[in-house]
Amino acid sequence: MSGIFASMLDGLLIGSIYGLAAMGLSLIWGVMNVINLTHGAMIALGMFGTYLLYSALTTSPYLLLLPIIGGGLILGIVVYWIAIHWVIGRPMLMSLLSTFAINMMIIGTGTALWSTSPYNVNFSLPGLTIGEYTFTGNHIAAASAAVVIALALQLFLSKTRPGKAIRAVTDNREAAELMGISSTTVLALAFGMGIALAAASGALVSTLFPFTILSGAVYQLKSFVVTVLAGLGKPFGALVAGMLLGLLEGVVTPFIAVSWIPLIEFALFVVVLVAFPKGIFGKAAS
């Protein structure tokens, strides 16, 4: 019985990282109605960024989160000006395709640089033993970091002026502009932050599992599932939904083969989309 408990707890820890990745996707969707298909590539860049920095500096990879987040923010703003700004307000297909084009270019360059063979960040913190089960220190540290970043984002959105501007633009872009908010700056900032979150979640994953340049795709798909569970455009709900997804994985792992999990997740995804298009936490009307 305690085996399930341990597995659930482990799922919860991993789930907070799914949640972090999904928060970025959700933020971008909420502010500018763009489904960011570069997300997987950015998660992968976060992994490789951590790998490269760690190889060069050999400090704790959790300290390296700061430069990774900063780099993600800048990269996101650059990508916004290259590929997003011009398709805002055009049909959905256009932003899907322009972000997908950036995704192809990043994955292509990454494959050329690092091939598709696995890398790993060779770092481990002492674990925590409860009874007969040991939780690795990295899992605990990564999950804590994810929660801290998520709380920081929530504080930023609710307390600071730029954060409030982002929320205003999310609610109603025209009205926000009439109140003197430069929506272009806000969109660029929000996109940058979304990418920074993706990179940060990639950095955290890289301390847990080996990864390749293509690994981001798995987490991008999980982010879709999580974002849809939470309701598109609800960043904090995404963290909770991420943990729920992790918990679900933890609950079923002891009973069925791991290879069945994607089927459960994606079937759930489609069902939730059709039955609750506003997410399970979503309010009925808007």
Nearest-approach distance from CB 91 to another protein, in angstroms: 8
Residue 1 or 257 having the CB closest to another protein: 257
Residue 16 or 103 having the CB closest to another protein: 103
Residue 65 or 106 having the CB closest to another protein: 106
Chain positions contacting another protein, by CB under 8 A = 29, 33, 35, 82-83, 86-87, 90-94, 96-98, 100-105, 107-109, 111-112, 217, 221, 224-225, 228, 232, 257, 259-263, 266-267, 269-270, 273-274, 277
Nearest-approach distance from CB 197 to another protein, in angstroms: 19
Nearest-approach distance from CB 78 to another protein, in angstroms: 14
Half-sphere exposure of residue 126, counting CA atoms within 13 Å on the CB side? Answer: 1
Residue 78 or 221 having the CB closest to another protein: 221
**Six token digits for residue 266:** 């994606």
Nearest-approach distance from CB 141 to another protein, in angstroms: 30
- Integer angstrom CA distances of residue 123 from 50, 174, 203, 271: 11, 48, 13, 40
Residue 103 or 138 having the CB closest to another protein: 103
Nearest-approach distance from CB 253 to another protein, in angstroms: 15
d(CA 187, CA 77): 9
Residue 125 or 261 having the CB closest to another protein: 261
Residue 7 or 220 having the CB closest to another protein: 220
Nearest-approach distance from CB 285 to another protein, in angstroms: 17
Cβ-Cβ contacts under 8 Å for 284 (sequence gap 6 or more)? 278
Residue 79 or 181 having the CB closest to another protein: 79
User: Measured at the alpha carbon of residue 197, what is the angle toward residues 42 and 93, in degrees to the nearest 5?
Assistant: 55
Nearest-approach distance from CB 64 to another protein, in angstroms: 27
Nearest-approach distance from CB 98 to another protein, in angstroms: 5
